[in-house]
Each structure stands twice: as structure tokens, then as C-alpha cells.
Amino acid sequence: MNFTALTIEAIIEKPIETVWATWTLPEHIVNWSFAGEDWHCPKATNDLRVGGTFSSTMAAKDGNMSFDFEGVYSEVVEHEKIAYGLADGRTVSITFEVVEGGVNVVEVFDAEKENPLEMQQAGWQMILNRYKTYTESL
């Protein structure tokens, strides 16, 4: 299937060890893996290895909607790169590059076909911005 790749990024003003931990440990993921204030992430699991799986539950705080965002890892290079596949065939790649003042996190993801590209890019960027805010608050 042919997908359009979209890219988002943010510089996280923390050391790579902190950036990696907050991205990969479930006790941190539940604090940032959702887009809006009316959503939350009540549960996350992560088996961070090639062939391992992850799942983050994104749920509306009012309880009227939830879904699991899940996939299987295809590449894991500690402090450098994570790549995974989703059930619908889309792929995601995240790189972590140490730069002056922090770590540049670049996420390239295949867009799904149901929603406008701009909406998807904005939604994923909102989650990345929430991640940045959470990580920098530690």
C-alpha cells in the first residue's frame, strides 16, 4: 500500500538519557501520549526490542471514546533510533540526535487515508509537543 510520509520534530532540552527514558518507559508514556487536554493515556505497555510490541491507550476523559495505539518494533538502537510497524501496514521511525542544548527528536510516520494530512501532522505534533513539555518539566 502506498502511504504519504509526514515529518514532525522538536528539540528537547534534556540529556539523551532522560529523553530516551521518557519516550520508552510506560510510567512516563502515560503522562504524554495523547493530543488534547480532554484526553489522557490510562495505560501503556512497552517491550522495547526488535519484534517486541507496545500499546498506549488513548482515551477521552469523559469516557465516551478510547483506542489503543499499538505496533511491533522493527528497529531499536538505544539513544539513536526506534522504528515500528502498525497493523494497517504503516510505518513510523523516530530518531534521537544529540544537538547543542538538547536532543532533536524527529518522527517520520506514514499518514492514514481517512483524515486530511494537515490534521494528522498537527495531531502528531501536539503529542510530540506534550512529550517535550512533560520531559522538560522533570
CATH entry 1.10.1510.10 includes domain 5-136: no
| Average pLDDT score, the chain | 97
Q: Provide φ and ψ at 64, rounded to 5°.
A: -85, -5
Amino acid at 54: F
Segment 71-121, tens digit of pLDDT: 999 999 999 999 999 999 999 999 999 999 999 999 999 999 999 999 999
The pTM for the full model equals: 0.95
Residue ranges per structural domain of the chain: 5-136
pLDDT (0 to 100) of residue 35: 86
